[in-house]
Structure formats: C-alpha cells, structure tokens
Amino acid sequence: MQIGEVADRTRLSLNTLRHYDQAGLVVPSARSQGGFRLYTETDVQRLLTIRRMKPLGFSLEEMRELLEVVDRLGAADLPVDDRAALRDRLRGFQRAAQEQRDKLVEQLSRAQEFIATLQQLDDEAG
Amino acid sequence: MQIGEVADRTRLSLNTLRHYDQAGLVVPSARSQGGFRLYTETDVQRLLTIRRMKPLGFSLEEMRELLEVVDRLGAADLPVDDRAALRDRLRGFQRAAQEQRDKLVEQLSRAQEFIATLQQLDDEAG
DNA sequence: TTGCTCCTCACGTCACGTGAGGTGGC
DNA sequence: TTGCTCCTCACGTCACGTGAGGTGGC
C-alpha cells in the first residue's frame, strides 16, 4: 500500500506519515525499487492505534515505547522476568493514560461551560 | 498582582504568561517602575477564560479575536450595524467551538477504547 | 509520453521551555 | 545587605506544514 492510500485510510497527512517514519514510530514495512514507502495492513493498524492514543497527549517517543512493550508482550516465549518487567512498564502507561483521560474529561466540561457562556452572550446581545 | 501570583492562581507557567503578553492575548494592565508586569483581577479572569478555551484548539490569535468580539459586544453604546457584525463573528466562533467539542468527545471515546485495550492486554498477560 | 504519485532536503511555524546574565523591591 | 522575584534576549523543542526541485510507475 502506498503512502497516499494510507493517508486516506488513517486520515493522517502525508507529512505526518513521513514524520512518523523518520521518528521511528511507524516505519513502513518495505520500500519499492524507486524508494516509495510501502505499508502493510499491520502498519495501518499501528497507525490507527496511534491515532487513538494521540488525544492522551503522549509524545511520539512515548508512543513508540508503548507500542514496543505491547509488541514484546505478544511474543510467545518470553522469560518470566522480562514479562514481569514489561507488565510493569505497561501499568505505568496505563496510569498515565487514565490520568490524561481524566484531565481530558475535565477540560471538556470546562469547554462546555465556555460554550454555554458564548450562547448566553449571544442571547443577551439579541 | 505580580506574575508569580497570577501563575499560581491560573496554573499557567510564567513563560506562558509572558508569551501571552508578547502575543497580545493578555497584556498586563500595568507595569511597575522596575518593569514588573502587574495584573488586575480582570486580567486573571481573562486568563481563566483562555484556559477554558484551550482544549477547543483555537490559536492564540483566534482567542485574541474572540475575546475582542466579546469585549466589544459588552460596550453599552454600539451602532446597530457594528453589533450585528460582531454577533455574526461570535456565531462563527460558536460553531467552531461546538465542532471542536464534538471532535473532543469523539477523541475521548477513542482514547477510552484504547485504555480498555491496554487493560485487556494486562489481564491477558497475567 | 503524459500526468499523477511519490521522494528528499531545507526551512517555517506554533506554543511554548530553557538557560544566561542582569535587576527590582519588600 | 540578603534573597527571592522578576526582567529581556536568544536559542531550543516538539510535531508537524510548506515549498523546491527531482523522479517513479501504471
């Protein structure tokens, strides 16, 4: 799949996709002879996951780490110690994600208040 | 009120306050002899309003414009034409705010899904 | 061959953050 | 006088956006 189709499917810009490639967040699985980025279905799923994470305010580097942890946890034969360490890191991300979600909820309700204030102002000006 | 107290009350950083000053978004009402920024209660209220708007993703310039419209609508003697024009601009901002809020709500639910996925992964790894 | 898609620099932008070096004010 | 708060540059950063000039591929 070329970058254009991926951009359409993920609603991410061409530049964003190139930026994620350069940042090592989602490196396309292959390149064509001419150097065109070639994405697999798995790559696209990864990008969609990233899009879900974005509102939680993680940096690209943090998202890269989280995805790495998730990938490695998926591996079949993993030493028990490694698995435990990975789960600890995963829990750290979980906590951060939940805190960020709580903040988002609060921001949303403040934004809601603000919108109500605008409405009131409009009514008054009528 | 000096910048430090304002930072505490608004939970905005010193740098952010200076940046808003330079951007013309909230210019402190006065300066001390020595050049210290002096904020009034009105300035602080303005900053709190901005904090409410921030999640809606407006640029500093757009927030500046919106606040100007709101301020000018508050004026007592305003030609009818001006008032109508200001209300039009206000409605534009209202629409943008509502759209942004809708997007935020959607992002939040996607983030929620993501958190659930993380939880599931953690459970499975147990 | 044409035209659409893609490529890599390189520089710009937005909203700040981070020192460095210096001064104000109770 | 001391120490804490504040000041202005100037440069850095993060996540991209925006051309410029060139090439790939059906």
- Bases of chain D below 7 A from a protein C-beta are 5-8, 14-18, 23-25
Q: What pLDDT score does A126 carry?
A: 66
**Lowest mean per-residue pLDDT among B34-38, B49-53, B54-58, B119-123:** B119-123
Please say if the pLDDT value at position B89 is more than 90: yes
Determine whether the interchain pair A113/B51 forms a contact, defined as Cβ–Cβ distance below 8 Å. no
**What tokens appear for B18 in the block?**
């200076």
User: Whose CA is nearest the C1' atom of nucleotide D6?
Assistant: B36
Phi-psi region of B77 (alpha: psi -120 to 50; beta: other; left: phi over 0): beta
Mean pLDDT of A24-52: 97
Query: Torsion angle, CA of A88/A89/A92/A94, rounded to 10 degrees?
Result: -100
Ordered alpha helix ranges (H), chain A: 3-10, 14-22, 41-53, 60-74, 80-125
Residues of B in contact with A54 (CB under 8 A): 107
Chain A hits for B109, CB-CB cut-off 8 Å, are none
Give mean pLDDT, residues B64-78: 92
Distance CA A61, CA A74 (A): 20
Q: Which residue has the tokens 């953690």?
A: B122
Q: Which residues of A touch B105 (CB under 8 A)?
A: 108
Q: Which residue among B94, B107, B119 sits closest to A55, beta carbon to beta carbon?
A: B107
Residue B118 in this model has a pLDDT that exceeds 70: yes
- Is the pLDDT at A42 greater than 90, yes or no? yes
Cβ(B107)–Cβ(A111) below 8 Å:
no
Q: Which of B86, B101, B122 sits opposite A111 (nearest CB)?
A: B101
Most confident of A38-42, A105-109, B80-84, B102-106: A38-42
pTM of the model: 0.91
Q: Tokens representing B105?
A: 């709500």
Q: Any idea what DSSP says for residue A31? A: E
DSSP-assigned beta bridge partners for residue A31: A37
In a mutagenesis test of the A interface, which of B50, B102, B108 is the best target, namely the one with the most A β-carbons within 10 Å? Answer: B108
pLDDT of A125 > 80? The answer is: no
Quick one: closest CA in A to B96, which residue? A115
User: Do the Cβ atoms of B91 and A122 come within 8 Å?
Assistant: yes
Instruction: With beta carbons under 8 A apart, name residues in chain A contacting B104.
Output: 55, 104, 107-108, 111
Residue A76: the pLDDT is: 82
Tell me what pLDDT residue B126 has: 66
Q: Residue B125: is its pLDDT beyond 90?
A: no
Share of chain A above pLDDT 70, in %: 99
pLDDT band at B75 (very low <50, low <70, confident <90, very high): confident
Q: List pLDDT tens digits, range A78-89.
A: 999 999 999 999
Higher pLDDT, B54 or B76: B54
pLDDT of residue A83: 93
Contact check, Cβ <8 Å, A91/B115: no
Closest CA to B93 of A9, A57, A115: A115
CA of A29 to C1' of C6 (A): 16
Q: What is the 3-state secondary structure of chain B?
A: CEHHHHHHHHCCCHHHHHHHHHCCCCCCCEECCCCCEECCHHHHHHHHHHHHHHHHCCCHHHHHHHHHHHHHHHCCCCCHHHHHHHHHHHHHHHHHHHHHHHHHHHHHHHHHHHHHHHHHHHHHHC
Q: Which positions of chain C lie under 7 Å from any protein Cβ?
A: 5-8, 14-18, 23-25
pLDDT at A75: 85
Nearest alpha-carbon partner for A96 in A67, A51, A53: A53
**Per-residue pLDDT, A57:** 93
* B115 pLDDT tier (thresholds 50, 70, 90): very high
What's the rounded Cα separation, in Å, for the pair B8 and A107? 18
Long-range CB contact pairs, A56-63, < 8 A, 24+? A56/A96, A56/A97, A56/A100, A56/A101, A56/A104, A56/B111, A56/B114, A57/A100, A58/A96, A58/A100, A60/A20, A60/A23, A60/A25, A61/A23, A62/A93, A63/A25
pLDDT-derived band at B122, boundaries 50, 70, 90: confident
pLDDT of residue B80 exceeding 90, the answer is yes
